[in-house]
Amino acid sequence: MTEAGPLAGTVVIEVAGLAPVPFACMMLADMGADVIRVDRPAGAALPAAPDESPLGRGRRSIVIDLKQPAGVGVLLRLTAGADVLVEGFRPGVAERLGFGPEDCLGGNGRLVYARLTGWGQDGPLARTAGHDIDYIAMAGALAPIGAAGGPPVPPLNLVADFGGGGMLCVAGVLAALLERERSGRGQVVDAAMVDGSALLTAFLHGLRAAGEWRDERGANLLDGGAPFYTTYLTADGGYMAVGALEPGFYADLLARLGLDGGELPAQYDRAAWPALRARLAAAFATRTRAEWAEVFDGTDACVAPVLSPAEAAGHPHNLARGVFTEVAGAPQPAPAPRFSRSAAGPPAAAPPRGAHTDQVLAGLGMSPAEISGLRERGAVG
């Protein structure tokens, strides 16, 4: 739990979930919010325990059995004094358990109740299961990704889970908190990964409307089709990423590669792109990744080495800027964005499940006898 940051003093109740929910709450905790994670009892824990992941950092943890009325009662007492609740159940589940929006807002009219799901709270697919790959498939975000003539390639689970889900949820929560300052009232935020994934393709839709994008993979400016916006194999089996879109940057690229632009096809002559790609590939194949990284270091050619996640933490720029930090002896991405006046401290390691149960319950005004009674009934742990 951090003690500073722009969200210092903001209390967030996180009903533990997978991927997008903990990511969203990680960002809120990184900004200084007091995030209380409601974990499930032993035996009902999620398959990927959040205390083993950077996504669980900066929290306090309380174990509550939300299948017990007494456990739900504890959660409602928590939300009565909170600013935000984030849950990722399918539509109707929270209502059935007794902590839906009406239940929580009835006890705290200023609460921002954030619902983070794949398909959203309504629509034909709302109650069906899915994963990142399904949401980006339906949003039109998967089809453009992949090599020409090959199948679509999932971009890990970055687009729906984290960009279109977690970050969209954070944006909604922050907007609702800002609006609450004017209205004095909370509201429900419906953050759907399919919505967010579609939103991330806004630029692509603009290109299509302008006739500058073909609905085929590997044939466009930004999908690897252009020989000056792709990756190239180096002599040692590494890769260099090239993004020299503008003429000036492209000229710098050719000069650093030792190529004469006058002997090459025009940069934007699509018919000649295969030939141009072959020339660039042959040039990159003559040196190692490290050698090319040195050649292009500090230039405007828009060329960078393709680093593994492990290598990224050690790159000089990332080191100088502190893009990564170390938590509990392991490198993790550092909190972002950065704030000039209200920066939060370094993130704390993720807590074990239930590490703060007694502390949180005592903060609600419960006596030791009440807490013991809840433990004996298995309502908390």
Give residue 1's pLDDT: 45
Rounded CA separation 133/216 (Å) = 19
Q: Under a CB-based contact definition with an 8 Å cutoff, are residues 36 and 62 in contact? A: yes
- Of 318, 336, 362, the residue that ends a domain is 318
Give residue 46's pLDDT: 63
Q: Is residue 216, in this structure, part of any structural domain at all? A: no
The catalytically annotated residue of 131, 190, 315, 358 is 131
Give residue 43's pLDDT: 73
Do 132 and 246 have their domain in common?
no
Residue type, position 177, single letter? L
pLDDT band at 45, cuts 50/70/90?
Answer: low
CATH number at residue 360: 3.40.50.10540
Do 129 and 192 have their domain in common?
yes
Do 111 and 142 have their domain in common?
yes
Q: Is the pLDDT of residue 48 over 60?
A: no
- Of 269, 286, 318, the residue that ends a domain is 318
Q: Is residue 6, in this structure, part of any structural domain at all? A: no
pLDDT band at 126, cuts 50/70/90?
Answer: very high
Do 125 and 245 have their domain in common?
no
Q: Is the pLDDT of residue 347 over 80?
A: yes
Do 77 and 170 have their domain in common?
yes
Q: Under a CB-based contact definition with an 8 Å cutoff, are residues 151 and 77 in contact? A: no
Q: Is the pLDDT of residue 163 over 80?
A: yes
Q: Is residue 275, in this structure, part of any structural domain at all? A: yes
Q: Is residue 307, in this structure, part of any structural domain at all? A: yes
Residue numbers of the domain that contains 254: 229-318
Domain count, the chain: 2
Q: Is the pLDDT of residue 207 over 60?
A: yes
Please enumerate in sequence order all residues whose Cβ is within 8 A of that of 335, keeping only pairs 6 or more positions apart, or say none: 27, 30, 31, 325, 344, 347
The pLDDT of 152-156, averaged and rounded, is: 97
**pTM for the complete prediction?**
0.95
Q: Is residue 210, in this structure, part of any structural domain at all? A: no
Residue 272 tokens read as 């000649």
Do 250 and 295 have their domain in common?
yes
What pairing do the DSSP bridges indicate for beta strands 239-243 and 303-305?
antiparallel
Q: What are the pLDDT digits (tens) for 216-235?
A: 999 999 999 999 999 999 99
Q: Is residue 164, in this structure, part of any structural domain at all? A: yes
The pLDDT of 326-348, averaged and rounded, is: 92
Half-sphere exposure for 289 (CA within 13 Å, toward CB): 16
Do 329 and 311 have their domain in common?
no
* End-to-end Cα separation, the chain, in angstroms: 20
pLDDT band at 330, cuts 50/70/90?
Answer: confident
Q: State yes or no: is 236 an active-site residue.
A: no
Give residue 2's pLDDT: 43
Q: What are the pLDDT digits (tens) for 271-312?
A: 999 999 999 999 999 999 999 999 999 999 999 999 999 999
The pLDDT of 149-154, averaged and rounded, is: 96
Q: State yes or no: is 131 an active-site residue.
A: yes
The catalytically annotated residue of 65, 132, 161, 252 is 161
Give residue 44's pLDDT: 67
pLDDT band at 363, cuts 50/70/90?
Answer: very high
Q: Under a CB-based contact definition with an 8 Å cutoff, are residues 163 and 196 in contact? A: yes
Do 115 and 133 have their domain in common?
yes
Do 112 and 28 have their domain in common?
yes
